[in-house]
Amino acid sequence: MRDSRIGAFGVIALILVLVIQIACLADLLADGMTTLMGGWLASAILSRAMMALQAWAFPPPDNSGFAHSVGRPDMRVMLISMGSGFVLALMLSGSLAIFIAAGCAAVATYGFGYLLNRHIGGVNGDGLGATQMISASIILMVMAAA
């Protein structure tokens, strides 16, 4: 986990995520610039709120890393983050599809956190960053499909 180099699978994952997000944004643009900006901002805000959910639900992988020194949010902080993120995403997107998008992103966030917990013993900063990218992609896919 302390190796800062990116491997072939990391490059492939980043390219795949970027292609998915660009395709979804192009689909949202077909509905107008307001829809594009609302969907993009909603996905950015809500996907970052998902990081608080994952950090609250799963421990850091070890007791000596940076993730451990930063700590985990308590339930109150996580609920404030999730609630404010959802309300802002709903206001910016102007679409009720954000309810479905938030649910799908929450399920993916928890599932990915579970996998990280099983394989590396917890969630670190890289895992939170990957969660944000996965959640943003899922939110954009749901918004584009709606």
> What digits encode the pLDDT tens for the residues 15-27?
999 999 999 999 9
Model-level pTM? 0.88
Summarize pLDDT for 81-129 with one digit per residue, the tens. 999 999 999 999 888 999 999 999 999 999 999 999 999 999 988 889 9
Rounded to the nearest 10 degrees, how much is the dihedral formed by the CA atoms of 112, 118, 124, 125? -30
* Pairwise CA distance, residues 88 & 42, whole Å: 7
Question: What amino acid occupies position 39?
Answer: G
Torsion of Cα atoms, 134 then 140 then 141 then 144, to 10°: 180
Specify the higher pLDDT residue, 67 or 85: 85
Token reading at 3: 């190796």
Look over the chain and give the mean of its residue pLDDT values, rounded to a whole number.
90
